[in-house]
C-alpha cells in the first residue's frame, strides 16, 4: 500500500526523538506506508515525507530566524504547495496554512495543552476535515516508554481531502506544538 492511497482514513506518525530524528508512517492496520526524515540545517530544518519506495513526496522547510517559525511546504519538484504560520495571539486557534496566492487552505484549532487539533478547510465552508491527536498523553503511556517516542494520529473525516497536504500540515502542527 502506498502513502497516498485514498482508502487510508487514519495515519499514525511515530518515531524516536521525533524532534531531531526520523519516523515511520503507518495506516490504521499498522502497516508501514511511508516515513519522515529530518535534516537539521543552519537556521532551518527540512522534513521530508517519503513513500514506501523511499521517494520524496514533499518537504516541509522550517525557518527559525524569527520568533514564530514559518513552514514552507514544497512538492518533490520543489514547487511550493503552501506556507504555514502560527496565528498571532490566538489561544485555541493555533496554525494556519496558506496557498501561494495567500488563500487560507487549512486551519488548526487545538485544545489547551495542544494534544488534539481539529483541522478545518476554509475552502469548503470551514468544515472539519481531520483531527490530529498526540498519542501517549495518558492512556497509551504504558506501552510507549518514558517519553522517547512521539506519536501523532491523523484521522481523516473528509475522504476528498488532499492527503499529501494534510500529512505535511500534520507534521507542521506537531513540530510547532513541540516548539511552543
Examine residue 27 and state whether it is found in any structural domain, yes or no: yes
* Residue 18's pLDDT band (cuts 50, 70, 90): very low
Q: Is residue 4 part of a domain?
A: no
Q: Rounded to an integer, what distance in angstroms lies between the CA atom of residue 75 and that of residue 178? A: 24
Cell 483531527 appears where? Answer: 131
- Give a yes or no: residue 158 inside a domain: yes
User: Residue 113 — very low, low, confident or very high, per pLDDT cuts 50/70/90?
Assistant: low
Q: pTM for the complete prediction?
A: 0.84
Is 105 inside any structural domain? yes
Check which CATH number belongs to the domain holding 110 and give it.
2.40.160.200
In a domain, 3, yes or no: no
Q: Give me the mean pLDDT over the 68-76 stretch.
A: 90
* 2 within some domain: no
* Distance in angstroms (rounded) separating the CA atoms of residues 23 and 3: 14
Q: What's the pLDDT at 8?
A: 96
Q: Is residue 171 domain-resident?
A: yes
Total domains present in the chain: 1
Q: Residue 115: what pLDDT?
A: 76
121-140 confidence digits (pLDDT tens): 988 787 899 999 887 654 44
pLDDT of residue 140: 43
Domain that holds residue 128: 10-178
Residue 49 within any structural domain of the chain: yes
Amino acid at each position: 500500500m502506498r502513502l497516498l492511497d485514498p482508502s487510508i482514513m487514519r495515519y499514525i506518525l511515530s518515531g524516536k526523538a521525533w524532534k531531531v530524528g526520523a519516523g515511520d508512517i503507518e495506516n490504521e492496520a499498522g502497516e508501514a506506508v511511508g516515513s519522515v526524515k529530518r535534516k537539521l540545517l543552519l537556521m532551518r530544518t527540512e522534513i521530508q515525507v517519503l513513500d514506501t519506495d523511499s521517494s520524496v513526496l514533499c518537504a516541509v522547510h522550517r525557518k527559525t530566524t524569527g520568533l514564530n517559525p514559518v513552514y514552507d511546504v514544497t512538492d518533490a519538484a520543489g514547487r511550493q504547495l503552501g506556507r504555514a504560520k502560527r496565528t498571532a495571539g490566538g489561544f485555541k486557534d493555533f496554525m494556519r496554512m496558506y496557498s501561494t496566492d495567500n488563500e487560507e487552505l487549512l486551519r488548526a484549532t487545538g485544545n489547551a495543552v495542544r494534544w488534539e487539533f481539529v483541522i478545518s478547510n476554509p475552502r469548503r465552508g470551514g468544515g472539519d476535515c481531520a483531527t490530529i491527536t498526540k498519542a501517549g498523553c495518558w492512556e497509551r503511556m504504558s506501552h510507549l516508554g518514558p517519553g522517547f517516542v512521539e506519536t501523532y494520529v491523523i484521522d481523516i473525516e473528509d475522504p476528498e481531502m488532499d492527503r499529501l497536504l494534510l500529512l505535511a500540515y500534520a507534521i507542521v502542527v506537531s513540530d510547532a506544538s513541540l516548539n511552543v
